[in-house]
Amino acid sequence: MRKLDAINIRDLTERGVAIVILGLGTLDRTPQAKLTLAMLAAISEYERDLISERTKAKLAQLKADGKKLGRPVKVTDDALREKAEALFAQNLSWRKVAAELGIALSTLQRMMKSAA
């Protein structure tokens, strides 16, 4: 295993597996090991909560500052839209138009839908 969390460690110790952590010693079924495990689990949960709290605060700040969040729009070019319309006028299929423009079919469909 590459990553052990508190649940995995508890499961392993309940099955009788002794876990050796360098610098901490052996985690087995002893009361000291259970206390250490409980403390590590609490610290881990605290860190996860802090990360989540900071992330939410930063996203709220960016949103309040008017920053647009999420993936940027790839195609916004009016010239590209006009070229697509010209290709459609030649009775080309949606897939052929998308291939000619070098964009995905879904991008072409979204671009044409927003133009209407």
Q: Which helix (H) or strand (E) holds 111?
A: helix 105-115
Same domain flag for 57 and 16: yes
What pLDDT shows up at residue 23? 80
Full domain range(s) for residue 53: 6-64
Q: Do the domain assignments include residue 94?
A: yes
Q: Do the domain assignments include residue 72?
A: no
Task: Kindly give the confidence (pLDDT) of every residue in the chain, 116 residues in length, as a single tens digit, with 9 standing for 90 and above.
Answer: 456 566 677 777 778 777 777 887 777 778 888 888 788 888 888 999 999 999 999 999 999 999 988 887 665 678 888 899 999 999 999 999 999 998 899 988 988 887 66
What pLDDT shows up at residue 44? 83
Q: Are 55 and 66 in contact (CB under 8 A)?
A: no
Same domain flag for 11 and 60: yes
Q: Are 6 and 41 in contact (CB under 8 A)?
A: yes
Q: Which two tokens stand for residue 66?
A: 């008017």
Question: Is pTM, for the whole model, over 0.75?
Answer: no
Q: Do the domain assignments include residue 73?
A: no
How many Cβ atoms are within 10 Å of 98's Cβ, its own excluded? 20
Closest CA to 44 of 3, 15, 1: 3
Closest CA to 37 of 46, 50, 28: 28
What pLDDT shows up at residue 74? 63
What pLDDT shows up at residue 1? 42
Q: How far apart are CA 101 and CA 80, in angstroms?
A: 8
Same domain flag for 49 and 94: no
For residue 44, give every residue at least 6 positions away whose Cβ sits within 8 Å of its Cβ, in sequence order, or none.
5, 6
Location of structure tokens 């605060």 = 57
Domains contained in the chain, number: 2
The residue type of 9 is I
What pLDDT shows up at residue 94? 93
Q: Do the domain assignments include residue 71?
A: no
